[in-house]
Amino acid sequence: MKQRVISFSLLALTAAVAFAGCSSGNGPATGGTKTPETTTPASVAVDTKPVTLKMFFPISMSDTDFTNLVVEPVKKKYPYITVEMIKRNNKPTALEQLQDIYAVGDSPDLLFTWNGDLPSYKDVDLLYDMTDLAKKHGVDTGKFEPVVLDSLKVIMDNKGLPALPFAVNFNATYYNKDLFDRFGIGYPKDGMTWNDAIELAKKVSRTDGGVQYMGLSPDTLIRLAMPLSLTKVDAKTQKATMNNDSWKRVFELQKEIYSIPNNMPKKMNDAGQKSFLNEKTLAMLPTINLMNLGLESAQKEGLNWDIVQYPSYPDKPNTYGHVDTHLVAIAKTSKNKDQAMQVIEVMTSDEVQLLSTRTTARMTALKNKDIKNQFGAEMTFLKGKNIPSIMKSNPAPGPLYSQFESRTNAIALKKLEEFVNGKDINTTLREADEEIHTLIGSSAKK
């Protein structure tokens, strides 16, 4: 039976919110932080009575970025709209926090999340098809990268538009130049396969002066699976999907990386960010966008780094991850949907996207290459870095996620550990499916 979001009667059973991403009528952006603003069609009649909209953030955005990229641009164009942030609290899941919010009659109008969590919101009937509103307010969906937009539409069986993308996460290989210099090894290059990265890591991984220096981190099993667009649960059948050759390939790749002498992290499934950013004992870290996640601070503390393309699977050249987009959705329960759409219109405008790209190093989801090419232009710590390498790869299509996808991460990581410690791969994946089936079955009975 379909759950109604207002009551959230079965909220505790929904998936946890995970982790924790053209042609334009305005013409291309060129060189500065200002571009013409999108204009709402004159025929659109919207109540201009002052209104405060609340945007829920299950993923983080700094107060400064929220002010600069949301609050002030919206207020500039629509003086009658005030946008307030509802921050993620310490509830076990974001949906449990929403339950408390709705209980006191303080429901959000907008959701700022990522595409992997849309199934959780769909499961509680919180998603709203904004197709008609986008047309009404002159938002040209053709200006977005098709693969990104498709990753959102898939949640509605390609029959609706549940959200619009604000930014797209990218993957790159960050490397510590000092470690390669110290050991007399040539730097990583664009276009490497995973095998190339592994062979290079073998030359760097060692113990020197009593310190373990690792050559390569795989980040996590989940990250390695993304270029293959893998899921652990089939979203349509709610059946486990790990017992197959594709997942076998991912497990074996991570084990091969860990098997490099001196390359096993202190804690298995450690994503490697602390070792790279803080301890400076990791030579290569293929991972997500770190430009506003501690990289600048690490550089100030002496990290001498640069980037190259994310390693590719041989049959998936120039491919990193899959579509991982930060998005904005209108809550189905909002009483101010027109004004909420106006907020999204501003956030996805060329002007705001250019500002975001230049000042926060977020990758735009727009097709506009002039905006893409200004990535990090006002961030001085990126000067001289191999930023063009980021543009050489593209994400794989985003899969349709089940609401159980995030909840099965712990099972997958536990099974990886068992495999690395000697369990047969076929047994490992069969047991993974069995445990996932048990988790889904026990949830359904509650």
| Structure tokens belonging to residue 382 | 């990126």
Asked whether residue 141 falls in the same domain as residue 283, the answer is no
List, for residues 129-157, the tens digit of each pLDDT value. Answer: 999 999 999 999 999 999 999 999 998 88
Q: What is the CATH number of the domain that holds 52?
A: 3.40.190.10
User: Is the domain of 205 the same as that of 62?
Assistant: no
> Which position has the higher pLDDT, 381 or 159?
381
Q: How far is the C-alpha of 437 from the C-alpha of 238, rounded, in Å? A: 9
**Is there a single domain that holds both residue 144 and residue 16?**
yes
Same domain? 340 vs 206: no
pLDDT bin (cut points 50, 70, 90) of residue 39 is very low
Query: For the segment 82-117, what is each residue's pLDDT rounded down to a tens digit?
Result: 999 998 888 777 788 888 888 887 889 999 999 988
| Residues 167/325, Cβ–Cβ less than 8 Å | yes
Structural domains counted in the chain = 2
Of the candidate ranges 113-122, 234-243, 352-361, the one whose mean pLDDT is the lowest: 113-122
Q: Cα angle vertex 341, ends 339, 345, to 5°?
A: 115
Do residues 340 and 195 both lie within one domain? no
Compute the average pLDDT of residues 307-330.
Answer: 96
Averaged pLDDT, 246-258: 98
- Tokens (6 digits) for 133: 């509103």
| Same domain, yes or no: 213 and 263 | yes
Cβ contacts of 61 within 8 Å, gap of 6 or more: 69, 85, 112
Mean pLDDT confidence for 15-40:
37
Helix (H, G, I), strand (E, B), or coil: what is residue 256? helix
**Residue span of the structural domain in which 237 resides:** 171-321+401-445
CA 426 to chain centre: 30
Q: CA nearest 133: which of 336, 387, 414?
A: 336
